[in-house]
Structure 1
Amino acid sequence: MTQYPFTTAKISFVPAGIREPTATYHGDTGEAVRNYEPEMREVQIVNGRLQQDRYTLDQNGFELVHQPTQLGPVTDDADPTIKSHYYPEVTEILKQKTGARDVLIFDHTIRITGNANGRLPVQSAHNDYTETSAPKRVQDLLGAQEAQRWLSGRVAQVNLWRPLVGPVTALPLALLDSLTLGPVDLRPSALIFKDRTGQIYHVSHSTGQRWTYFPNMSTEEAILIKGYDSDTSGRARFTPHTAFVDPSTPDGSATRHSIEVRAFLRFD
């Protein structure tokens, strides 16, 4: 298969003038009402396969890993094999790739295009946690005493994203190289639900950003995505990402069917 150096596609950003973006979600439909109109920007998205060994979790905020899975194309988030069989696989990958002392998997989401009853791929540039919401999530999960033990040292939040049906041709995942993330590109954004309010980073466009994707991913591949790192010494800390419409996707391409598992990692 011919490997092209990049594709050109549109990504949804928060306009630079919006300092406090919010999205209020309807509890029944999941639709969001925003206080801004998304800004679609055409960007180059580099084919990461041509230099895939250069991308690392701590330098760029993401890393492609080759690791087969025993998990089949499950469609239900409540399928018990996800926690009983897949979580241990993910824990082992995260420990091997990061050297983490402890791995706390706390959530997962299956996304299928065209699935009216499920979660769809997110098509806006975002980062799952912020400087504020990541430590708060640790406290919510572990309680005050255990959270204090975790947060007294280095803590990172990492997603493992994997196709459950491959190869992925429709709505692949684009990742923003953390080395090119500008100091004002991240916008703390309130997510308002009926029973809670969360916070993520949405992203404003800047000319120095470098976006990357790995086309035609198989089920034997996964991407590690750094959502937060308490270490401020120079490691990647946040990694915005988004699904995007690749104009080179062939007509009639298969449904995009993926799973992402979210975890907090504790280091010595």
Structure 2
Amino acid sequence: MGTASNDHLVAATLSSVEGELNYLKAGQGRPVSYTFEPPPGVPWVTGELEPRRVAIRDGRPLVALRELSLDRSGFTQISHRSVVADFSHDGAIRDIYYREAEALLRDVTGAEKIVVFDHTLRDSAQGSRRTAALREPVRRVHNDQTFVSAPRRVRAHLPPEEAEERLKHRFAIVNLWRPLATVERLPLALCDARSIAFEDMVPSDLVYPDKVGETYSFTWNPKHRWYWFPRLRPDEALLLKIYDSREDGTARFTAHTAFEDPTGAPEAPPRRSIELRALVFWPAE
């Protein structure tokens, strides 16, 4: 690993693309997004977006230097091959892939307990939003959890007494994002947590058929530093820190979004991916 000055030198010379990212326009009310087809006349998403063209750097060299990591930047890229060959079978995902993810996250984080609580299959093909098993890639800057919703997740997925005890100590929510084919369209852009200000985050409603969750939308900040991992393969994956209760400067959130790769071919196949979400618990310190 290089010195801090060397790391900054590498960051300054990384190859990059210029991409258009959709931020929430500042000064609006609370945005609302639906995970299912909303009632007639109700939009899928509210909140006016503000497209911004930003430099998005190749993150692979900085992962090699350990400058990008879960606790420093809020995300990292790893090499990991799943034994699951067909992700269209929900049983294989829950019985095999969940166990793989638990072992992987325990190894990467050193955590005591991992609880995988859901997953999402995404397909950028037109019309996939209306397919119950699939969702389209999200093309606006967001983070899946907030200071309010993250503790709710713990209480929703653990017995009451254990949940309250776990909430006294460090816990996190980490997403494991894997492409199901080499990514040629709509890759993920990820924002270095060290470049995000609290004022950039806007609590937003995420409506499910049976409940309303809370996520963060983000307003534009010229200090944001964006990264991507070109042509990510199925034997690679991304880890995203969606929440961390630690307050010592450790990365706590990862703003992210899909974006149009300006170097991609117009005829490139749709992006297909699986995103798995897990609660991560450490022992009492």
**Which residue of 1 is the match for residue 87 of structure 2?**
74
Distance 1:35 1:216 in 2: 31
**Residues 24 and 169 of structure 1: CA distance in aligned 2, closer, same or farther (over 3 Å):** closer
Of residues 10, 16, 19, the one that matches 1:6 is: 16
Instruction: Give deviations 1:127-164, integer Å, cap 9, x for gaps.
Output: 00000000011111214212112111101000000011
Instruction: Give deviations 1:38-75, integer Å, cap 9, x for gaps.
Output: 11111111111232222100000001111111122423
1:6-155 map, 5 Å: 6-23=16-33, 27=37, 32-53=43-64, 54-75=67-88, 79-114=90-125, 116=128, 117=131, 118-155=134-171
Instruction: Give deviations 1:208-255, integer Å, cap 9, x for gaps.
Output: 000100000111100100000011111000001111111111121122
**Residues 124 and 73 of structure 1: CA distance in aligned 2, closer, same or farther (over 3 Å):** farther
Distance 1:110 1:250 in 2: 23
Contact 1:159 1:261 in 2 (8 A): yes
> Helix, strand or coil for the counterpart of 1:69?
coil
Distance 1:11 1:26 in 2: 24
In the alignment, structure 2 segments of 5+ residues that lack a partner are 1-13
Distance 1:177 1:33 in 2: 28
> Helix, strand or coil for the counterpart of 2:243?
strand
> Helix, strand or coil for the counterpart of 2:268?
coil
**Residues 6 and 17 of structure 1: CA distance in aligned 2, closer, same or farther (over 3 Å):** same
Q: Which moved more, 1:135-144 or 1:220-229?
A: 135-144
**Which residue of 1 is the match for residue 178 of structure 2?**
162
**Which residue of 2 is the match for residue 220 of structure 1?**
235
Contact 2:29 2:47 in 1 (8 A): no
Q: Give me the TM-score of the superposition, normalised by structure 1.
A: 0.92
Distance 1:57 1:144 in 2: 28
Distance 2:168 2:59 in 1: 35
What is the percent sequence identity of the aligned residues?
36
**Pair 1:176-2:191 in alignment:** yes
Aligned pairs, how many?
263
**Residues 163 and 182 of structure 1: CA distance in aligned 2, closer, same or farther (over 3 Å):** same
Q: 1:121 is aligned with what amino acid?
A: P
**Which residue of 2 is the match for residue 244 of structure 1?**
259
**Which residue of 1 is the match for residue 206 of structure 2?**
191
Distance 1:194 1:84 in 2: 25
Q: Give me the TM-score of the superposition, normalised by structure 2.
A: 0.87
In the alignment, structure 1 segments of 5+ residues that lack a partner are none
RMSD of the alignment, in Å?
2.0
Contact 2:80 2:236 in 1 (8 A): yes
> Helix, strand or coil for the counterpart of 2:53?
strand
